[in-house]
Amino acid sequence: MRLLGNVSALPADLTSMMIRRLAWLVVLSFSFAFIVTAAAGPVVSVVACAGVLVYALAVTRGDAARQAEAAPAAAAEAKAAAAEAVIAEAEAVIAVARLRLLGGTGS
């Protein structure tokens, strides 16, 4: 037992060493908590901004998809309107030709 030195002083040394380790653990824990808390603000704001941007991108893509689906229908409506305009113009030309052929009198 001579290897350990003063055996009665050993528990006091262990207690002192454990208290020092506990104090360091508390200091490190508070330091870690402070760093994590300080870093959490910017991280949360970056994540929130990224979420808003992803949502805006999804909405924009949805709008673009709806417009792409509606584009053929709008093109068909435009063609139908153009065809109706051509028909109306042709009817007007025919009416003028009839007036000329009949000598200005209506039928």
CA separation for the pair 98, 100 (Å, rounded): 5
Residue 83, pLDDT score = 92
Sign of the CA dihedral running 54, 56, 62, 65: negative
Helix, strand, coil percent content, the chain, rounded in steps of 5: 90, 0, 10
Q: What is the pLDDT of residue 18?
A: 81
Vertex 96, ends 100 and 107: CA angle to 5°? 70
pLDDT of residue 91: 92
Mean pLDDT value across residues 86-102: 90
pLDDT above 60: residue 4: no
Residue 84: closest CA among 76, 40, 45 = 76
Please check the confidence at residue 10 and state whether its pLDDT lies above 80.
Answer: no
Give the residue carrying structure tokens 């020092």.
20
pLDDT score of 105: 58
What are the extents of the domains in the chain?
Answer: 2-101
Residues 12-69: pLDDT tens digits? Answer: 666 787 888 888 888 888 888 888 788 788 878 888 888 888 888 888 888 888 888 8
